[in-house]
Structure 1
Amino acid sequence: MDRTPQSALVHTWTFFRQWLKNPRGVAAISPSSRQLARQMMSELPNGARRVVELGGGTGVFTRALLDHGISPRDLLVLELNEELHQHLQRHFPQVQVACADARDLGAVARQHGFDESSPADAVVSGLGLLSMPRPTQQAILAAAFDCLQPEGRFVQFTYGPANPVNREVLDDLDLVARRGSFTWWNVPPATVYVYSRRVSRAIRPRSMR
């Protein structure tokens, strides 16, 4: 992928044009920063080999994942926007890129070899979960953890300091959230959150009658 200033301008303009067309569907007005990408990569499990990316955009995280050592054949990127999907295919021809809704990740992952015998180690998300209704959040998180190995992680960024995932969604899916790093050098500033399965859960005491 070309990393010249001219290329960066092309990616930014491509992203901004999609934001103008659909501000609610595209969560930001510009692509994520390289600093945010590095912070997202730092939250991958040690030795992560197979990764799914949700909301590939112009490929900032895609490039960071490849630079991190993820093989193109072990990377699956989902992007619902058709123009951004075509952009990703042009710039990352060896990566598996699907034009699909993240809620359909289960079926898409199986089609691309991310099944029970070869699950993902991590899901990296650039989706605007904060603005999504609870049922959509739950559908996406459930689909993501269905294609993750037991110790797999869901790495998400959000604008501002608040956890973007509804507390009831975390409880229903038996997940725990951990707040990671925060960067001012993103437009807007962003926080990284990491979600994983709850290893053990306290037993609630029964009420005495």
Structure 2
Amino acid sequence: MSHFRRKNATAAAESPVAWTFFRQWLKNPLSMAAFSPSGKQLARAMVSQLPPGARRIVELGGGTGVFTRALLDHGIRASDLLVVELNEPLHRLLQHRFPGVHVVRGDARRLTELAAGEHFLEEGPADAVVSGLGLLSMSRGMQRDILNAAFSVLAPHGRFIQFTYGPVSPVSRELLGELGLHARRGTMAWINVPPATVYTYTRSRSTAIPAQAAAPR
């Protein structure tokens, strides 16, 4: 085993949570954004981009719950947080770690359906979608579907918050124009492994991607 693999296997084994994440990465590295969970600095950078007074949040790709924990510590109530995770072992881990949070297993492209199944939209649309998905490695079509789904549950001035390991926005200028979205570069988490940059995406015109109306009560 190479020094790189020995070092990361040892680090992962020191924490059951990190080890769960690392094992899932080994099984399917292309489906996960990194070989280790995001760090606390990146989590703080993501949370810092929430809109002022944000109350209801959706998280995509919950992983081991690094962002989930940061959102709860920020003051988001468990009942106002919906976490979507496709990977079954990670989904079970999130359910165990955060019993009061709406944790659902499913594809982010089906977010509207998943949110409705949890009755999450009955209290109104989300203020922000915090994404731990690896958008950079996805096709343009998949990115389009995820962004459409995300903005369908967002309030008109809601934000889609995404991190990337690349040097520029993981969503191309062409796709942003097609969807009527505006990208803004935020904080860079230098000590994250690997270093990551946070971007926020908002609607740039009133006709872009209509928000999901709250279900009648």
Name the TM-score, length of structure 1 as normaliser: 0.90
Distance (Å, rounded) in 2 between the aligned partners of 1:68 and 1:117 = 20
The reply to whether residue 74 of structure 1 matches residue 87 of structure 2 is no
| Matched-pair contact (CA < 8 Å) for 2:21–2:37 | yes
Match of 1:114 among 105, 116, 120: 120
* Counterpart residue identity of residue 174, structure 1: G
The equivalent of 1:94 in structure 2 is: 100
Q: State the SS of the aligned residue for 1:176.
A: strand
Choose from 147, 152, 170 the match for 2:153: 147
Structure-1 residue corresponding to 2:177: 171
In the alignment, which residue of structure 2 is the partner of 1:85? Answer: 91
Which residues of structure 1 form unaligned runs of 5+? 1-5, 202-209
Task: State the Cα deviation string for residues 15-44 of structure 1 (Å, max 9, x = none).
Answer: 111000000011101000000000101000
Specify the alignment match of 1:161 in structure 2: 167
One-letter amino acid of the counterpart of residue 196, structure 1: T
Tell me, in whole angstroms, the C-alpha distance in 1 between the residues paired with 2:46 and 2:108. 19
Mapped partners of 1:95, 1:183: distance in 2? 26
1:8 offset after TM fit, Å? 7.3
Provide the C-alpha distance between the structure 2 equivalents of 1:11 and 1:157, rounded to a whole number of angstroms: 21
Decide which of 51, 56, 75 is 2:57's aligned counterpart: 51
Out of 50, 53, 61, which is 2:67 matched to? 61
d(CA) in 2 for partners of 1:7, 1:64:
23
Partners in 2 of 1:191 and 1:20 — Cα distance?
24
The answer to whether the 8 A contact 1:55-1:77 is kept is yes
Q: 1:80 to 1:86 in 2, by over 3 A?
A: same
Q: Please tell me the root mean square deviation across aligned C-alpha atoms, in Å.
A: 1.9
User: Which runs of no fewer than 5 residues in structure 2 stay unpaired?
Assistant: 1-11, 208-217
2:46 equivalent in structure 1: 40
Whose helix proportion is higher, 1 or 2? 2
Q: What secondary structure does 1:27 align onto? A: coil
Residue 214 of structure 2 corresponds to which residue in structure 1? none
